[in-house]
Amino acid sequence: MNGKVALVTGVARGQGHSHALHLAKEGADIIGIDRLTDEPTIHYPLATADDLNETRALIQKLGRTAILS
């Protein structure tokens, strides 16, 4: 994965978080998105800005670029 860029959805937590970290460990830079605002039609809490920032920090700790929103 060296020199590749991976686009990951749901990057702030759960499977998206796990996949982003795995890809970063394999050498990919990560572009990731997640929805951080609660919606009245979704009956469980969504990811937070803290979750997103934690994912960003972990990817950067691996020496990879993390462009997350």
pLDDT at 17: 98
Separation of alpha carbons 24 and 54, rounded Å: 14
Instruction: Determine the residue type at 65.
Output: T
pTM attached to this predicted model: 0.90
- 3-state SS class at 63: coil
Q: Radius of gyration of the chain from Cα atoms?
A: 12
pLDDT at 45: 86
Separation of alpha carbons 46 and 61, rounded Å: 25
Name the residue among 15, 16, 4 with its Cα closest to residue 68.
16
pLDDT tens sequence across 46-56: 899 999 999 99
pLDDT at 61: 98
